[in-house]
Amino acid sequence: MTWRPSALIEEGLANLGASAFRSALLLVVCAAAFGGLAYLELRQGMELTGFARDFRESGAYVAIASVPGGGISGTRCESLNGTPGVVAAGAWRSTGQATFRTAPGVLFQAADVTPGILRVWDPGQPLGTGPGLVVGPAMAGELGLRAGLIAAVEGDEPISVSGVGDFSKRNPQAARWALSPVSPAGSFQECWVEFEPGDFEAGREALPARFASGSEEPAVRPYRRSDEFTRDPAAEWASRPQKWGWIAVPGGLFGFGLVSAWFRRAEAGLYLAMGTSRAQLALMGAAESWPLVAAAWCLGFSYAVAAQSLRSADPTIEILRHAAITSGSAALLALAVMPWAGALVARGSIASLLKDR
């Protein structure tokens, strides 16, 4: 018997609808496999992305330059802003202690700061852009201050509060500080510089030469010591085991297909008795399995995205892309290998296959 390709496709689709249970079982198994692979990619990707974000927000790429006895040039420090690889840079110097009329006898640290250092200490909001004090959160809570109010300093004219900084991650000791934005002219105690992650090491090594003057050698230290964080997100992502799932998952599904085809070997015997070749059996198997695999990937990937969104934040576009590529590659390989399961089972004599009816 000679089969037309269209007839083989129709026969495969008919077989697909002939056994609702078998088709539903294969759909569920494939959806679970593709969805599980995508979910592992999404979960690890978002976990590493969150760690890298928290690591950076905690000041991992901030370097502090100082000279014994004070003497860092504020102008040189502020001029780093706009340099390739530098996120923000600024300097500060202590001006002693201050007392406010609303809290007599309570001392707060006062300091002059250049505008750039406020972007290092609190990158989440613009501070120091207007005239007036910038105060730490603890100080604001004790004195009942907020942006726009007037702070009355003992022995000085009242001054407006331009903002309340959140310095908990970058400089928690500034929580009770009153910061006065000033011109970068003159000397300061420290210069804080935040670099882009890829420029941190080279930028930190170049800082001593930038601030070298006279006989004093500038000291540069990282805000966060490297031994505080031992994880390497890039290395973890590169070595993740599920990245090879695009090979392992189709292999497992092919094994499941072989088992399913083994229970249908009598049907394969009938087709062979009618003159059907094994290549034609594979084409018939493609018509039967491809719709299930395609539907399973759509269901599995959608479920993985929904599960990850419910578990934590919505996945980023980059992580979604990785999950789609890994699970999609598994689906494409499954499309290529699963149609051959029936052809491989249809081996031996036709009589032996037919006896299993």
CA of 43: how far to CAs of 31, 128, 312, in Å? 18, 39, 9
Task: Look at residues 24, 25, 28 and name the one whose alpha carbon lies nearest to residue 36.
Answer: 28
201 and 168 both lie in a single domain: yes
pLDDT band at 351 (very low <50, low <70, confident <90, very high): low
Does the residue 31 lie in any domain? Answer: yes
323 and 245 both lie in a single domain: yes
Which pLDDT score, from 0 to 100, does residue 90 have?
93
Task: Look at residues 80, 77, 103 and name the one whose alpha carbon lies nearest to residue 92.
Answer: 77
For the segment 149-156, the average pLDDT, to the nearest whole number, is 78
Does the residue 299 lie in any domain? Answer: yes
Which pLDDT score, from 0 to 100, does residue 153 have?
78
211 and 243 both lie in a single domain: no
Please check the confidence at residue 353 and state whether its pLDDT lies above 80: no
Residue 166 phi/psi, 5-degree rounding, is -110, 95
Cα gap 126→107, rounded to integer Å: 27
244 and 340 both lie in a single domain: yes
Please check the confidence at residue 43 and state whether its pLDDT lies above 70: yes
Tens-digit pLDDT profile for residues 51-60:
888 888 888 8
74 and 21 both lie in a single domain: no
The percentage of the chain sitting over the pLDDT mark of 90, rounded to a whole number, equals: 34
84 and 186 both lie in a single domain: yes
Tens-digit pLDDT profile for residues 156-214:
778 888 888 888 888 888 888 989 899 999 889 999 999 998 899 999 999 988 888 76
Cα gap 305→309, rounded to integer Å: 6
Which residue is associated with the tokens 């750039």?
116
Does the residue 246 lie in any domain? Answer: yes
Does the residue 266 lie in any domain? Answer: yes
204 and 84 both lie in a single domain: yes
Q: List residues bridging with 90 in a β-sheet.
A: 192
Residue 249 phi/psi, 5-degree rounding, is -65, -50
* Final residue of a structural domain among 153, 188, 223: 223
Listed in order, strand segments (DSSP E) in the chain are 62-66, 72-73, 86-100, 103-113, 133-135, 150-151, 159-164, 177-181, 187-188, 190-195, 219-222
Tens-digit pLDDT profile for residues 283-294:
777 788 889 999
Residues near 115 by beta carbon (within 8 Å), at least 6 away in sequence: 78, 90, 127, 128, 129, 181
108 and 168 both lie in a single domain: yes
92 and 200 both lie in a single domain: yes
Q: Which two tokens stand for residue 344?
A: 């491989």
Tens-digit pLDDT profile for residues 251-285:
999 988 888 777 776 666 666 666 666 777 777 77
Does the residue 115 lie in any domain? Answer: yes
Q: What is the pTM of this model?
A: 0.72
Residue 83: exposed, middle, or buried by beta-carbon count in 10 A (0-12, 13-18, 19+)?
middle
143 and 186 both lie in a single domain: yes
Residues near 174 by beta carbon (within 8 Å), at least 6 away in sequence: 109, 111, 121, 136, 165, 167
Contact 284, 15 (CB under 8 A): yes
Tens-digit pLDDT profile for residues 294-321:
999 999 999 999 999 888 778 889 999 9
Please check the confidence at residue 101 and state whether its pLDDT lies above 90: no
Which pLDDT score, from 0 to 100, does residue 198 have?
87
Longest dimension (CA), the chain: 108
Residue 193 phi/psi, 5-degree rounding, is -130, 125
pLDDT band at 62 (very low <50, low <70, confident <90, very high): very high
Q: If you write DSSP's letter for every residue of 253-291 in order, what string do you get?
A: HHHHHHHHHHTTHHHHHHHHHTT--HHHHHHHHHHHHHH
Cα gap 187→239, rounded to integer Å: 48
88 and 198 both lie in a single domain: yes
Cα gap 213→249, rounded to integer Å: 63
Cα gap 334→293, rounded to integer Å: 7
Task: Look at residues 41, 35, 37 and name the one whose alpha carbon lies nearest to residue 240.
Answer: 41
For residue 106, what are the domain limits?
62-223
Residue predicted with more confidence, 310 or 40: 40
* Final residue of a structural domain among 166, 190, 223: 223
Does the residue 228 lie in any domain? Answer: no
Does the residue 304 lie in any domain? Answer: yes
Q: Which two tokens stand for residue 283?
A: 């084409």
What's the mean pLDDT when you consider all of the chain? Answer: 84
Tens-digit pLDDT profile for residues 2-29:
667 776 667 667 777 777 788 888 899 9
Cα gap 357→346, rounded to integer Å: 14
Tens-digit pLDDT profile for residues 24-37:
888 999 999 999 99
Question: β-strands 219-222, 62-66: how paired?
Answer: antiparallel
101 and 127 both lie in a single domain: yes
* Final residue of a structural domain among 223, 253, 275: 223
Q: Which two tokens stand for residue 217?
A: 């050698």
Does the residue 229 lie in any domain? Answer: no
pLDDT band at 331 (very low <50, low <70, confident <90, very high): very high
The number of distinct structural domains making up the chain is 2
